[in-house]
Amino acid sequence: MPSSPGPPRSPEPPRSPEPPRSPEPDAEASLLAQISDQVGCDSSALRWQFLGSAHGPCRVWQVSGTKPGVGVVVKQFRSDRAFHQERHAYARWLPHLPEETACLLAAFVAPVRALVLTQVPGRPLTHASGPLERAAHMRAGDFLRALHALPEPDPDPLPLGPAISRRYAAWLARVAPATDAPTLARLAEFTALVDDPQLFDGARRVPCHRDFTPSNWLCSAGHADEHNATLDGFFVVDFEHAHLDCPLLDMVKLWTEVWGERPDLEAAFFVGYGRTLDPQELRQLGVLAAMHAMATVAWAEEHADLQYAAAGRQALRRVLG
């Protein structure tokens, strides 16, 4: 998604696929040397395996040939913004959280723009059982509770409420060409709520992941049966969109894509989060979900992407009922 006017985290725009390849020769040599220092092995033994993300903000490789028990992942970024956001999250936030993320081994600034991370175990939460899904959502809630509680000064002079009001107005204008008149009118009805200075009164920016979905959770099951499940591991990945924002933004994609049909997962999440949302926060979540839906629909229309168009329509149905 474009960086301006600053939407809630929406699906990453696809781009023309690129052939899997390792970083450019000079960059690779530098990365190989650093990885060798970190894991204590000969760089000539290292091998690169392309993991995906040929489109989007970064390319990802798994580096093998390290000493037993040490796995390394390299992420090379296309933009300074995504690189600096993920590096900041790993360097400043994640060391203070439970051991549910990778560790940052090294960072290379432009022109390389790459992070060397420890590889974490587990698989994305797909095709999982109900008990396993509930266990993962509970752990996800616990992770967000800790992330949102981290102290981080907010340098933005614009308060959160007026900032969201501006973002909402910008996305309402941008989605207009892709939306029928009745739907646009219903989205415009949120404007009065968004412009109410009391809506986000007391809300503040906190550390946020901003792409917090089950696809970015790596889970490994412990015990699981038809009623209960435990997780041996739960790890959160992909922090390239992370920065200070409204904490409810980390719940928007769960609310629009998952919880509508799975209230049991929503309940499990808030057990982990430690509390449910109050009525004012529920109104805030509705506004942010509407903004997310508009961002998804607008981007899908501008790039003729049917997959994201379907996701945008789903989000609109959830928002507008």
pLDDT range class, residue 53, cuts 50, 70, 90: low
Number of domains in the chain: 2
For the entire predicted model, the pTM comes to 0.84
pLDDT of residue 14: 37
Residues 108 and 210 in one domain: no
The domain in which residue 252 lies consists of 123-320
Residues 173 and 62 in one domain: no
In a domain, 88, yes or no: yes
Q: Are 247 and 278 in contact, with CB atoms under 8 Å apart?
A: no
Task: Look at residue 271 and tell me whether its pLDDT is greater than 80.
Answer: yes
CATH code (residue 42): 3.30.200
Report the distance separating Cα 182 and Cα 197, nearest Å.
26
Helix then strand then coil, in percent of the chain rounded to 5, is 45, 15, 35
Residues 137 and 103 in one domain: no
Indicate the range of 35-44, 64-73, 141-150, 294-303 predicted with least confidence: 35-44
Residues 222 and 80 in one domain: no
Give the domain-ending residue among 56, 85, 118: 118
In a domain, 4, yes or no: no
In a domain, 9, yes or no: no
Residues 131 and 54 in one domain: no
In a domain, 17, yes or no: no
Look at residue 280 and give its three-state secondary structure.
helix
Task: Look at residue 48 and tell me whether its pLDDT is greater than 50.
Answer: yes
In a domain, 97, yes or no: yes
Whole-number average pLDDT of the chain: 84
In a domain, 155, yes or no: yes
By CB atoms closer than 10 A (0-12, 13-18, 19+), residue 186 is middle
Per residue in 123-156, pLDDT (tens digit) is 887 766 688 899 999 999 999 999 999 999 999 9
Give the domain-ending residue among 85, 118, 151: 118
